[in-house]
Chain A
């Protein structure tokens, strides 16, 4: 089970990073979502998997019995999901506004914030400036 989940985490990271490197805005946003989900799964796997032993304190007992699942990573993942959800919603809205104002979903069209290229003497084929 650990191996399967570990491979899944790796696959999600690989897909996410691949999509991040694409030139289409929507794919970049989806890539971020995949990366976030991969990370959530990573926390879950890294903290160790326990099957069929939920972290519930039995009746008449004061503490968790040994061998139950660790509840803390689940709390962390829950927090991370909420944060990731908010940020992805924001990223989607922003991507839409960028698309509306630029008129293209090609990342290479986002050039207004870059400095104008420096004036370079262009060499023609004959070697004249």
Chain B
């Protein structure tokens, strides 16, 4: 038995506890947060390497054997997501150093980031459906507080909408768990997969339960038509928090959809996949059209989160090994590019004091490095080769053509074009056109903000140029998701006991 699988949960917990115990010493908060984030990234990378070399890792918490105890499972999907989450957590922590005010820090800002990371990593690793619900709530609680602490009226208003709608999603999720347990008599995901697939199981009942999960996770992932809370709330948060939310929170919803619809609810794939196909296409189109209508940088980026989620759920709808691996590749690419775009928007805001495109201008001349970082991230999001987004879209389009879904492939390419339009809009308005007010007084931006921006831009380039190496773990993850017997055997067959 190895503790490594549980470390991505234990380390953020320890960091958060240390941070809260030392809450009366604001100077210690940032170093503790940084140390915790570095340790988390190291543990996550070690877990990724071990999962890559030795196959699926299982730890039975408290020594209770599956399916009775709670298991933490790390397959390639989980391990990759945990690693990316740790990287985003580290970047957001570093970015926060000069940005976050003293009020937020003494309210436990850094500790809350680690509570959030604990929830996210726990959700990625959990092999128990009720435990997944608990991690969701841990993550949501931390995100509620991060959104409203130190805030003013816009944060409170956005927070209320965010809390109400996410609670509604949680109620749906919990109802689904209750109904699932009532019929199958187990909560372990691998055991559920076996029981739901049994011949005498009532497939129609499970399809109804599956729809509850689809609504609950769809709400968190912000798919059509459940995305309306996202553009109403994300843009009010401070830049590092918005980047963290944009990068991670919706992806936890996508991850959960991928997990339950490849592992548990495989009894009526004709219906669920058709439904997911339509939902994904509608998500892509409505998100990108919403972005085209707006003139506020953070709001445009918020709508693009929605549009990109559609590509990831499309991977689930197509459900070939290539499409599932492609969905993961897309998620990783999107987390890197999207987080960085929010980082850049935050820097722009501090330089010029606005997110409105009409107030901005001349940034390319004044700050070529910032312009380069934005250019790389934005055009990666739009799918311009040789950046990461090109390969992500290439894999998805290829998967669509291989399954003969030509209309889907067409929608993907069209949405890519509209994404490019939005990004070019920001690029010309904020960076290329001369500044509207002539000479401007600029706020100061410390090195702590530049490091994550440049690092993530380099990651986006590396993921594009070295796409083949990045694809190999994702390809394995796609195969593991497509053929669920490996997961079931690893959990129920004893695993690494």
Contacts and interface: CB of A to CB of B under 8 A. Distances in A.
Contacts of A98: 156-157, 159-160
Interface in A7-31: 20, 25, 28
Given A35-B171, A115-B294, A90 B154 contact: no
Interface string A53-83: 0000000000000000000110010011001
Interface in B160-174: 160-161, 163-164, 167-168, 170-171, 174
A32 B152 contact: no
A94 B156 contact: yes
A50 interface: no
B177 interface: yes
Give the contact-size bracket for chain A: 35 or more
A101 B163 CA distance: 17
Contact of A101 (B156, B177, B235): B156
B136 to A, nearest CB: 10
Contact of B160 (A43, A95, A114): A95
B266 interface: no
B164 A97 contact: no
A72 B69 CA distance: 11
A77 B32 CA distance: 35
Specify which of B157, B158, B236 lies most central, judged by the most chain A CB atoms within 10 Å of its CB: B157
A123 interface: no
Given A112-B153, A114-B232, A76 B181 contact: yes
Contacts of B233: 113
A108 B476 CA distance: 49
Given A79-B134, A83-B137, A42 B160 contact: no
A118 B236 CA distance: 20
A46 B160 contact: no
B167 A87 contact: yes
B175 interface: yes
A46 B182 CA distance: 5
Contact of A42 (B157, B179, B294, B299): B179
A47 interface: yes
Interface residues of B, number: 40
A87 B141 contact: yes
Given A101-B153, A102-B153, A113-B236, A94 B178 contact: no
A20 B160 CA distance: 12
A114 B160 CA distance: 14
A84 to B, nearest CB: 9
Given A36-B171, A76-B130, A87-B167, A110 B178 contact: no
A110 B177 contact: no
Q: Give the dominant DSSP class at B's interface.
A: helix
Given A83-B137, A97-B156, A101-B156, A91 B181 contact: no
B132 interface: no
B457 interface: no
A39 B158 contact: no
Contact of B181 (A25, A38, A43, A102): A43
A42 B294 CA distance: 43
A113 B174 contact: no
Contacts of B182: 43, 45-48
Contacts of B134: 79, 83
A39 B178 contact: yes
Q: Most A CB atoms within 10 A — which of B148, B153, B160, B179?
A: B160
B159 to A, nearest CB: 6
Given A20-B164, A87-B137, A113-B232, A76 B157 contact: no
Contacts of B148: 94, 97
Contacts of A80: 174
Interface in B205-255: 232-233, 235-236
A58 B247 CA distance: 52
Contacts of A97: 148, 156
A70 B236 CA distance: 46
Nearest to B138: A83
Contacts of B140: 87
Contacts of B450: none
B181 A72 contact: yes
B163 A90 contact: yes
Nearest to A111: B157
Contact of A112 (B154, B296, B299): B154
Contacts of A110: 157, 160-161
Interface in B39-85: none
A87 B133 CA distance: 14
Ranked nearest first, the 4 interchain pairs of A and B with the lowest CB-CB distance are A46-B182, A43-B178, A110-B157, A101-B153
Given A90-B145, A91-B164, A112-B157, 6 more contacts: A42-B178, A43-B178, A43-B182, A76-B177, A91-B160, A113-B157
